[in-house]
Amino acid sequence: MSPGPLQGRVALVTGGAAGIGLALAEGLVRRGASVVIGDLEGAEAAAERLRAEGLAVHGVVGDVTSEPAVATMVEAAERRFGGLDILVNNAGIYASLTPKPFEELDVAEWRRVLDVNVIGTFLCCRGVLPAMQRRGGGRVVNISSGVAFKGNPYMAHYVASKGAVVSLTRALATEMGRHAVLVNSVAPGFTLSENVLRNPTLIAGVKEPSLRNRVLGRDMLPDDLVGAVCFFAGPDSAFITGQTLVVDGGAYYH
């Protein structure tokens, strides 16, 4: 087998034990990267399934809102695989949310969504920087969302959080460029991940409008994001930073 485009690279995928995160972790490792899966639960079980195929994957419990936990994930990558080159900020709160008018959203839920989706992204970016500096540079791929551009109703806290991720991507690209760290974002449309499939209320409110508004009128699946994320993680995007690529089957032209 010929070496993949990410051969010799080490990646950390947060929220990587299931759904979109697991698809991204598998996509990276099949392109040659060694991958650390970080998640609140299920990380080691997911890693074990891929290791059974002879792939270089390690699982670690990781809470992106905790600075010590972020440090533990970074240390695991350096200890297990010798460094860290790629961060995929996938961990986030969405699939468990119930759509409702903004005036019915309580402050505690707002704070929880922002804490994970925005502060967690910030903490992971800050946490990986020293490790990437030791490697002479790196790649950060933040998972935002197409809702940041469309202003979808009944999910104001989620929309705001993903808009913040887009803006944070631009700001960090500007600051981290001097360290040869490129920071980009991939913005999915509504994706039928395994966690989303457990929330029938969410599916009932979002699936049909999503299909109706897409040029490519089919359901979006986690595998549809793999190519875009691996592009930003790989050599073909070596002069691209601060950008957001919308992957939604043509629902929004960005």
Predicted pLDDT of residue 254 = 84
Q: Is 107 part of any domain?
A: yes
Indicate whether 32 pLDDT > 80.
yes
Per-residue pLDDT at 146 = 97
> Does residue 197 form part of some domain?
no
| pLDDT per position as a tens digit, 51-69 | 999 999 999 999 999 999 9
Phi/psi of residue 177, nearest 5 degrees:
-60, -35
Residue 2, pLDDT score? 64
Mean pLDDT, all residues of the chain: 97
Alpha carbon distance 216, 222 (integer Å) = 15
At 199, the pLDDT band (50, 70, 90 cuts) reads: very high
5 within domain boundaries: no
Is residue 43 within 8 A of residue 59, CB to CB? The reply is yes
User: Considering the domain boundaries, does residue 96 fall inside one?
Assistant: yes
Domain coverage including residue 241 = 10-188+222-247
- Angle (CA) 80-84-89 rounded to 5° is 110
pLDDT of residue 1: 52
Active site residues: 158
Number of domains in the chain: 1
The residue type of 192 is L
Distance (Å, whole) CA 171 – CA 181 = 12
CATH at 148: 3.40.50.720
Residue written as token pair 């986030």: 92
Tens of pLDDT, residue by residue over 69-100, are 999 999 999 999 999 999 999 999 999 999 99
Q: By C-alpha distance, which of 157, 128, 123, 164 is closest to 143?
A: 164
Identify the pLDDT of residue 209: 92
Which among 143, 188, 191 is positioned nearest to 168, based on CA atoms? 143
pLDDT digits (tens, 9 = 90+) for 212-225: 999 999 999 999 99
* Model confidence pLDDT, tens digit, residues 94-121: 999 999 999 999 999 999 999 999 999 9
Per-residue pLDDT tens for 143-178?
999 999 999 999 999 999 999 999 999 999 999 999
**Does a structural domain hold residue 239?**
yes
